[in-house]
Amino acid sequence: MSTQEVTLNELDPQAFIERKIAAIVEAVGDGKAINALSGGVDSSVVTMLGHRALGDQLLTVFIDNGIMRQDEPQQVVSRFDALGVPVELVDARDVFFEALSGVTDPEKKREAITQAFYKTVFGKLVRESGARHLLHGTILTDVDETVAGIKRQHNILTQLGIDTEEVYGYSVIEPLAELRKPAVRVVAKALGLPEEVYDRMPFPGPALAARVIGEATPERIQTVRQATAIVERELAQTDAFQYLAILHEDRVTGMRDGRRDFGQQIEVRCWESEDARTGWPTRLPFDLLERLADRITGEVPGVVSVTYSITKKPPSTIEAV
């Protein structure tokens, strides 16, 4: 499928939906396809397009990789069950944490997640299902950042010259590769997805592993998961483009009960942006920042320091890893 951009001004969502459904039907024929739902707007749109195009020929799975937000796997499966789309929940937590064990370099972590996802987990599912096609939620910004060498997005394969048929045993279909995030949201709404999906805040493909600097162990993921829940509750009314918590690698000196507490540091980021290509920090009220710090240090075990990033993108990026 073409990766020439369809801009928001050019987009006719109903015509786009019809065109992509027809393209999926043509590509898959009477075969089977498999689709990984993460709950984000991109994968949700692809799931609905695939379901409409293929019906029972499509196997949709949610891979519980152990690095999602609090209760996210169960919430996503329940939401799509209510929409009439069956989703199989696959427990692959051990596979992903084994792949991430001892890995600290950001690009190597992304590569470990890519291999665990596409080769180990999906390889098995493809063999068991007989599917020869993977529906994929790649959008144009993913392609741009990877090809430019800014940040390797875990879902970019064919654009890097990877022959997915040879390496993984299936072809990849990317219905959204012509769109950027604002256009994807319009298509999501046109498909009848609920507001909690089409207006959902961006969330990275490597999930919370993208928000842990250093090794992403189960314990460190749990720390950033708890901090993330607090940040998302406290900043939900800001109307910011994206907000997140990051766990730093180095421990810092703190104090509790008059004694030194050598603990962990959480960085909070809150962004204003149109399409994630550029961004600038939200000017949050200081009392809100104080409340965030008090809640995170009080409710997340081991955290003694909370900071707020005030750097624009560029030179920073929205995610840390």
At 157, is the pLDDT very low, low, confident or very high (cuts 50, 70, 90)? Answer: low
Residues, the chain: 321
More confident residue, 94 or 110: 94
Phi and psi, residue 259, nearest 5°: -125, 155
Tell me the average pLDDT across 13-38: 95
pTM: 0.81
236-260 residue pLDDT tens: 999 999 999 999 999 999 998 899 9
Burial of 270 (0-12, 13-18, 19+ CB in 10 A): buried
Tell me the average pLDDT across 131-155: 69
User: How confident is the prediction for the chain on average, in pLDDT?
Assistant: 90
At 313, is the pLDDT very low, low, confident or very high (cuts 50, 70, 90)? Answer: very high
Q: Which residues contact 286 (CB under 8 A, 6 or more apart)?
A: none
At 146, is the pLDDT very low, low, confident or very high (cuts 50, 70, 90)? Answer: low
The one-letter amino acid at 169:
G
Q: Which of 211, 215, 204 is nearest to 228 (CA)?
A: 211
At 150, is the pLDDT very low, low, confident or very high (cuts 50, 70, 90)? Answer: very low
Q: How many angstroms separate the CA atoms of 242 and 239, rounded?
A: 8
At 22, is the pLDDT very low, low, confident or very high (cuts 50, 70, 90)? Answer: very high
Burial track 23-53 (b if 16+ CB lie within 10 A, e otherwise): bbeebbeeebbbbbbbbbbbbbbbbbbbbbb
